Amino acid sequence: MKNLSRVFLSLFLVLIMLFGTMSFVSAEKQLVMTMVTNQSGLGDQAFNDAAWAGLVMAEEKLGVVKKVLESREQAQYVPNFSTLAEQKVDLIIAVGFMMKDAMAEVAELFPESNFGIVDGTVDAPNVACLLFKENEGAFLVGAIAAKMTESGIVGFVGGMENPITKKFESGYRAGVMTANPDVEVLVSYTGSFADPAKGEEMATAQYNQGADVVFQVAGQTGLGVINAAKKKNKYVIGVDRDQNYLAPDNVITSMIKRVDIAVFNAAKMVKEGDFKGGVYRYGVAEGGIDIAPTTGKLVPKEILDYVNILKQMIIEEKINPPTTADELEKFTPPNV
């Protein structure tokens, strides 16, 4: 009887430990993190895909569940954010400054929800604003364009004309001016981030005007710019991610914008329980802006060495690339 009692006692203790462990596991809620795309959607090979890569990283390193809602028109922004907030997902990421008004509206309605927005500023305690110093990276690729051109003419094709794309343009022009003040810069805006055909048309026009290097800052529209470069056998500069794989003989460099790191860092704050709203800025010094690692495939070493000097000068704040047309007008190229 004593032995039987010991057996029952042992089984009882095992069951207590088992149910205690199961309760602990079930109590440990798996975090769900979602992004809402802009109109380019996933597959743009640039901005949205870079943000998605940040959630993929969060899934792999933090064990969260990643989800996405694609927006095909601006009218979908508020409903998409509201739906996710009502579902009590743990982090909602908006991709693009055009979503800031919608996010401001929804963030106020759902003060307990955590939000993040890339390239936008929303003054709310539950919104992390993930901003980038695009002018710094554009400056560096502008210098590469000016050093690589043989015609003395380079181009810039933007999507929608707004403060972000103008920041790219201003930095790019300043980089061109620094590397070679005699180089002409052609500028076109397509009016859309989701129209590859228009991007190809605009880029083809610039190549026909003599440009032999074009920098595209146009989201999905930029895929058309790259296609034009392939057809015309000219050079093109990618954006947001390393886009050399899209046209290995034509994409001489890309301006890397580490949206993935910014999104991952926001997810990590939620995971660690210390999420805070506010502004988080990423530039060259912070490792959030750079040129593509494939740049050395088509760009000669002496040009890369020159650009690395400029990069270090930006880090040391000896160069402050302009962010607007007014700042560009006052910009004085440094002696390098």
Determine the Cα–Cα distance for residues 318 and 47; give it in Å rounded to an integer: 29
Domain architecture of the chain: domains with CATH: 32-132+260-282 (3.40.50.2300), 134-256+300-330 (3.40.50.2300)
Task: Give the pLDDT score at 43.
Answer: 85
Determine the Cα–Cα distance for residues 44 and 333; give it in Å rounded to an integer: 34
* pTM, 2 dp: 0.86
Task: Give the pLDDT score at 14.
Answer: 45
Determine the Cα–Cα distance for residues 139 and 145; give it in Å rounded to an integer: 10
C-beta neighbour count of 83 within 10 angstroms: 16
Task: Give the pLDDT score at 326.
Answer: 97
Task: Give the pLDDT score at 123.
Answer: 95
Token digits of residue 188: 């076109």
Say if CB 126 and CB 115 are below 8 A apart. Answer: yes
> Which residues, in sequence order, are CB contacts of 143 under 8 Å at separation 6+?
175, 176, 178, 179, 306, 307, 310
Determine the Cα–Cα distance for residues 275 and 17; give it in Å rounded to an integer: 34
> Which residues, in sequence order, are CB contacts of 336 under 8 Å at separation 6+?
178, 306, 309, 310, 313
Per-residue pLDDT of the chain (336 residues; tens, 9 = 90+): 545 445 444 544 444 455 454 443 334 578 999 999 988 888 887 788 999 999 999 999 999 999 999 988 889 999 999 999 999 999 999 998 889 999 999 999 999 999 999 999 999 999 999 999 999 999 999 999 999 999 999 999 999 999 999 999 999 999 999 999 999 999 999 999 889 999 999 999 999 999 999 999 998 899 999 999 999 999 999 999 999 999 999 999 999 999 999 999 999 999 999 999 999 999 999 999 999 999 999 999 999 999 999 999 999 999 999 999 999 999 999 988
For the chain, the three-class secondary structure string (H helix, E strand, C coil) is CHHHHHHHHHHHHHHHHHHHHHHHHHHCCCCEEEEECCCCCCCCCCHHHHHHHHHHHHHHHHCCEEEEECCCCHHHHHHHHHHHHHCCCCEEEEECHHHHHHHHHHHHHCCCCCEEEECCCCCCCCEEEEEECHHHHHHHHHHHHHHHCCCCEEEEEECCCCHHHHHHHHHHHHHHHHHCCCCEEEEEECCCCCCHHHHHHHHHHHHHCCCCEEEEECHHHHHHHHHHHHHHCCEEEEEECCCHHHCCCCEEEEEEECHHHHHHHHHHHHHCCCCCCEEEEECCCCCCEEECHHHHHCCCHHHHHHHHHHHHHHHCCCCCCCCCHHHHHHCCCCCC
Say if CB 319 and CB 310 are below 8 A apart. Answer: yes
Determine the Cα–Cα distance for residues 305 and 281; give it in Å rounded to an integer: 26
